[in-house]
A and B are shown apart, each in its own frame.
Chain A
Amino acid sequence: SAVISQKPSRDICQRGTSLTIQCQVDSQVTMMFWYRQQPGQSLTLIATANQGSEATYESGFVIDKFPISRPNLTFSTLTVSNMSPEDSSIYLCSVLSSGVSYDTQYFGPGTRLTVL
């Protein structure tokens, strides 16, 4: 299985500011994803991070609000821009391994964001 770390683990931010979340994987992976989990809710896919090209966003999410980078096969960042209290959520990085368990998706520990 892939080991995924995220930074920061949590943060409290002021309205109107931006936060960049980092995701690091201990091995090269084919696909990386970013999810949002609002309080008490299930997970919603924000986008698929594509290596060397623009991310693929799901309906309701746009690049200006959630810019994503993926410079290589082990690292990605998600920025939450111009934050409002509605952005308070857990943001999770997830990867699809290219190894034996190719159909299994693994998740990072999450970044718990509170916007005041």
Chain B
Amino acid sequence: GNSVTQMEGPVTLSEEAFLTINCTYTATGYPSLFWYVQYPGEGLQLLLKATKADDKGSNKGFEATYRKETTSFHLEKGSVQVSDSAVYFCALRNAGNMLTFGGGTRLMVKP
């Protein structure tokens, strides 16, 4: 079956630090990969996505590259801000149209 594994949080960084949140997956076929972000008290927002191997998704300074050889989709940002504090979810969807989520990683950015 499909599964997504994220690094456990919380991840605590100082402002302007480099961010990496690891995400690896197990899936049949060729899934699409997503990162969603949930700000405090809000629903999920799509942050970025990639639909095939070697695709790079990017948005708001965040990037993630679909690595089929390592079954990974790590989220990175070069310089985080306090406003990036949120919970980040890695997810995949295969041809069955079902989203499978990772457990979420809470990011806390301190001024």
Contact = CB atoms under 8 A, between A and B. Distances in A.
Given A42-B104, A43-B89, A45-B98, A104 B49 contact: yes
B36 A107 contact: yes
A103 B93 contact: yes
A110 B104 CA distance: 17
Contact of A105 (B43, B51, B99): B99
Given A103-B32, A107-B43, A31 B89 contact: no
A108 interface: yes
Interface of B, secondary structure class, is strand
B46 A42 contact: no
Given A104-B49, A105-B93, A42 B42 contact: no
Interface residues of B, number: 20
A33 B99 CA distance: 10
A96 interface: yes
A113 interface: no
B44 A92 contact: yes
Nearest to B6: A42
Interface of A: 1, 31, 33, 41-43, 45, 90, 92, 94, 96, 103-110, 112
Interface of B: 32, 34, 36, 41-46, 49, 51, 89, 93, 97-99, 101-104
